[in-house]
Amino acid sequence: EIVLTQSPATLSLSPGERATLSCRASQSVNTSLAWYQQKPGQAPRLLIYDVSDRATGIPARFSGSGSGTDFTLTINSLESEDFSIYYCQQRSSWPPLFTFGPGTRVDLK
Amino acid sequence: QVQLQESGPGLVKPSETLSLTCTVSSGPFKNYYWSWIRQPPGKGLEWIGFIYYSGTTNYNPSLKSRLTMSVDPSKKQFSLRLRSVTAADTAIYYCARVKVATIHFDHWGQGTRVIVSS
């Protein structure tokens, strides 16, 4: 089973700053990595899939990068609505098994 | 607009069976892995398993021994049954979909809270 770790656990930033979130896989996931944003009381929302493709309606300030085992979600110029929890997620090729990272909380400094 | 809606009891007694159904409104039903994901209070996300429209399933190994999923394509519904529940199964349960040959959950239900308590 592939394990995802995320760092840092919490990131304290101010509006306008850049957020850099890391996700590391215990073995290569190639490009099978997605990112989600979750706000309190809401279901997660897909942000990024296939490492770097933005989902429909996601602002350009969100970007993803990486390959193999190390991935990054970058949020340029944080806006007030971006203070949330972010999860990475991978899928193994076959059989399809899905795992999530433990999450990174981005909160207001 | 694709919508997924979970339904089922919000309270289940320990050792009993948790049963939930997800209804999909609009959009195709084939070519998707219809999944369940849960989130214990204050914790992260755990994938439970998926079912394909044909009935093929794949479950999280950690839950496999207690889990059964079923599907009714004519009603665009799929269901989850988790046996022998304990307090550790208390969580928000989400249904979600993944298009076959992709890796990501693109649509989610709003979630339903299930508490396991006597």
pLDDT digits 0-9 by tens, B33-60? 999 999 999 999 999 999 999 999 999 9
| Chain B 99-118, residues with CB within 8 Å of chain A CB atoms | 102-106, 108-111
How far A69 CA lies from chain B's nearest CA (Å)?
Answer: 16
B63 interfaces chain A, CB cutoff of 8 Å: no
Tokens of A40: 């309190």
Contact B44 A55 (CB under 8 A): no
Q: Does A100 touch chain B (CB under 8 A)?
A: yes
User: What is the percentage of chain B residues whose pLDDT exceeds 70?
Assistant: 100
pLDDT tens digits, one per residue of A68-103: 999 999 999 999 999 999 999 999 888 889 999 999
Q: Determine the average pLDDT of the residues in A100-107.
A: 98
List chain B residues with CB under 8 Å of A33: 103
Q: Does A37 touch chain B (CB under 8 A)?
A: no
Q: Do B110 and A33 touch (CB under 8 A)?
A: no
Question: Mutate which of A39, A73, A98 to test chain B, going by most B C-beta atoms within 10 A?
Answer: A98
CB contact under 8 A, B47 and A97: yes
User: Residue A1: pLDDT band by 50, 70, 90 thresholds?
Assistant: confident
What's the average model confidence in pLDDT over B61-80? 97
Measured CA to CA, the distance from residue A29 to residue A4 in angstroms comes to: 10
Q: Pick A50's closest partner by Cβ from B103, B109, B111.
A: B103
Beta partners for B5?
A: B23
How confident is the prediction for chain B on average, in pLDDT?
96
- Measured CA to CA, the distance from residue A89 to residue B103 in angstroms comes to 9
- Using pLDDT thresholds of 50, 70 and 90, give the confidence band for residue A42: very high
Residues of chain A neighbouring B22 (CB-CB closer than 8 A): none
Q: What is the mean pLDDT of residues B64-68?
A: 98
Longest dimension (CA), chain B: 42
| Token pair recorded at residue A81 | 């609505």
DSSP per-residue codes, chain A: ---EEEE-SEEEE-TTS-EEEEEEESS--TT-EEEEEE-TTS--EEEEETTTEEPTT--TTEEEEEETTEEEEEESS--GGG-SEEEEEEE-SSS--EEE---EEEEE-
Summarised one tens digit per residue, pLDDT across range A16-25 is 999 999 999 9
